[in-house]
Structure 1
Amino acid sequence: MSWKPLRVLTPRSILPALAVLLVLVAGAAAHANKPVPFGDRVAGPGGAEASPVNAQSVSAADLELKVGPGLEAYDRVTGEHTWSYRREGATALYLSMAGESAVVVWDDGLVTSARPGDKEVRWHRAVPGLADWLRGEGEPGADKRTEEQRRQLATERAAAALHTVQQSSPWVAVVTPNLTMGFRDADGDLRYNSKPAGNCVYDPIRTVGTDYAVLVPRSCTNSSGQPVSGGISGYRLDSTGWQLNAGPAVALKPLDGRRVLISDGPIVGPKVFDTKAAAPESACGSAAEPFAAVRPQGSCAAPEAAGDQQ
C-alpha cells in the first residue's frame, strides 16, 4: 500500500486560505454593522423593542396617533404611550388612515404604511420629486422663509400630497406637481403612475379625495406662459379612471363620501360629480333628470343652488 507524506504548510499555501478567512470575517462585520433600512427605529414604551403582531393587537380606533418627529401611538383611555416609529434623519409631517393602517409622509419624500395597533411597519415607498416640492427650494421668495415657515410649508404640502381611499380595498395616492402615484395599501404595490402632458402640472393643493376616488386638477399654459384650459384626472383602483375638461381656475369641494362639487366659473356653472358611479349627477329640475344615470342624492335643490354650496 502506498501513501503520501503530509503536505508541509508553507507561507505560499497559507495565503489563499487566509484571504478567504479575512473575506468571511469582513463580511460578518459588515453585516453586523449594516445600517438599519430607511433609518427605522421601532420601539414600545421606554424604548423597548416593539412586539410583532400578536393577540394584544388593538384597533386603530383605540389609539390616538400623532406625527413629529415620528409616528407616535397613545392609548385613548389611559393616555399611555404604546408605540413609536421613527426614522433617523427624517421627520414625519402628516398621516392619513387607510383602514387600520397609518400612512405617513416624511420630509425626505418617503411614504410609509404602518399598523400601530399591531406595532408593525409594513412598507416604504419613495416618490420622485416629493421631497423637493415639500421643501419648496428654488421657488420665488424661498430664500427669505424662516425655519418655522419652511416647516409649516412642508406640513401643508404633505397634507395636500397624501390621500387615502377606503373603498373597496384601501389604497394610497400621492400627488406632486409633476407626478401622481397610487399604491395598494395591502402590500404597497404600485398600481399607477402618471405625469401631466405638455405644458401642464398637477395641482396637489386643489386635489380632493372621496371614499372611492382621488380627483387631481391640472393647470396648463400655452407657449407664452398664459393659463389655458386644463382638466381633472380621476383615479380609482377598482375600475377605470376618467378625464374631465376644466378651466384654469376650477375648484373642487367634497360634499360627502362619494360626491364632489365642481365649480368652473359662471359660464359653465357648478356641477356635482359622483365618484362611485364615475358620472356627473343631473341637476334637479333639469331636462335630463328623468333620464339621468345618476339622480340627485338626498334633498333636491334647484340647479342654481348648487353654486351656493361653495
Structure 2
Amino acid sequence: MDRTRLALTAVAAVLALPLVTAAQHADRTPFGDRFDRRTAPTSASAFDPVRIRGAAVEAYDRGTGTRRWTYTRRDSRPLALYRAPGHAFALWADGMITDTGPQRVRWHRAVPGLAGWLAERPGRAAGVLQPLDAQARMLAVVIPERVSAFRAADGDLRWLLPAHPGCAFDPGRTARTRGVLLVAQPCGGPGAPGPERAAVDGLGRITPGRTPLGNDLPFSGRGARPE
C-alpha cells in the first residue's frame, strides 16, 4: 500500500513539472509583456487598425472588425500610439517605448526621465512619438531634455539631440515641412541664448554641411528584416 501511494505521489510530481515550469516562464516574461494573438496574421494585417483600449493596445481586422491581437504590460498602460504599416509604436506610462508587429512585440526601449515627466501630467504624451520620414523608418521620441531617434526595424538608437542649455523641447509644438520635423525649443526668457526651434530629420539635426551617418540595417542596404 505504501509503495503504491509512493508511486502515485512520484507520478503526480512528474506531471506537475510542466505546469510549474510554465508558471515560472510566465513570471519571467520580459518587461511584463502579454501578447495574445487571436487570429493568424495575413498580408493585410500590416495595415489593420490599431487602437488603445483601456490598458491594452489592440489590432482589428480591417474587413471584419475581428480582434487580431491584444498587447498589455504588467503594471503599466499605453498613453499614446503611432501607427505605420507593419508597426504599432506605443508610449507607456512607465517611460517604455515598444514596437509591435502582426505576430509579436519587436522591441522595447526605456527613455531616461520620461516616466517621471509623464507622471506629473499624463496628457503630455501627445506629440512625444514623432515619425521622421514618410515610411516611418525612423521614430523620434521628444521630451524636454532631448530628442532620441530610433530605427523602426530593430529599435537601435541612432542619434540624440540634447536641448540647448537653458532651453527645453516642447513635444506639443511641432510642425512638418518638406520632410523636416520642426520642434519648438523655448528658452528661459527674453535674450536667453539658443534657438527657438530645432529642425531634424531621420539623419539628425539639420545643419549646413552636415555629414551624418546612415540609418540602414547592417545586414541589408535598405528596409527592415522580415517579420
- Scaled by the length of structure 2, the TM-score of the pair is 0.71
1:111 aligns with 2:94: no
Structure 2 spans left out of the alignment, 5+ residues: 1-20, 209-227
Q: Partner of 1:219: helix, strand, or coil?
A: coil
| Matching residue within 30, 44, 51 for 1:58 | 44
Aligned to 1:83: 69
Report 1:1-310 matches (<5 A): 32=25, 35-45=28-38, 56-61=42-47, 63-67=48-52, 68-115=54-101, 118-136=102-120, 153-154=121-122, 156-167=123-134, 170-209=137-176, 212-221=179-188, 228=192, 230-237=195-202, 239=203, 241-242=205-206
Q: CA deviation at 1:234?
A: 1.4
Report the CA distance shift for 1:30/1:40 in structure 2 as closer, same or farther (over 3 A): closer
Give the 3-state SS of the residue equivalent to 1:128 in structure 2.
coil
Identity score, percent: 37
Query: Which stretch of the first structure deviates more once superposed, 93-102 or 182-191?
Result: 93-102
Q: Deviations over 1:129-186 (max 9, x none)?
A: 11111121xxxxxxxxxxxxxxxx51x3212211123346611001111121000101
SS at match of 2:150: strand
Deviation by residue 1:261-308 (Cα, 9 ceiling, x = unmatched): xxxxxxxxxxxxxxxxxxxxxxxxxxxxxxxxxxxxxxxxxxxxxxxx
Change (3 A) 1:228 1:90: same
Structure-2 separation of matches of 1:122 and 1:29: 22
**Alignment gaps of 5+ in structure 1:** 1-27, 137-152, 245-310
CA–CA distance in structure 2, aligned partners of residues 122 and 228 of structure 1: 42
- Displacement over 4 Å in runs of 4+: 28-34
Give the secondary-structure state (helix, strand or coil) at the position aligned to 2:164: coil
CA distance in 1, matches of 2:161, 2:22: 43
The offset of 1:66, in angstroms, is 1.1
Task: Tell me which amino acid in the other structure corresponds to 1:64.
Answer: P
TM-score, structure 1 as length reference: 0.53
User: Does the CA-based 8 Å contact 2:186-2:197 persist in structure 1?
Assistant: no
Contact between 1:161 and 1:174, CA under 8 Å: does it hold in 2?
yes
Tell me, yes or no, if the aligned pair for 2:80 and 2:90 is still in contact at 8 Å. Answer: yes
Structure 2 counterpart of 1:220, which letter?
A: C
The structure number with the bigger radius of gyration is: 1
Matched letter for residue 97 of structure 1 = R
**What is the RMSD computed on CA atoms of the aligned residues?**
2.8
Deviation at 1:79, TM superposition (A): 1.6
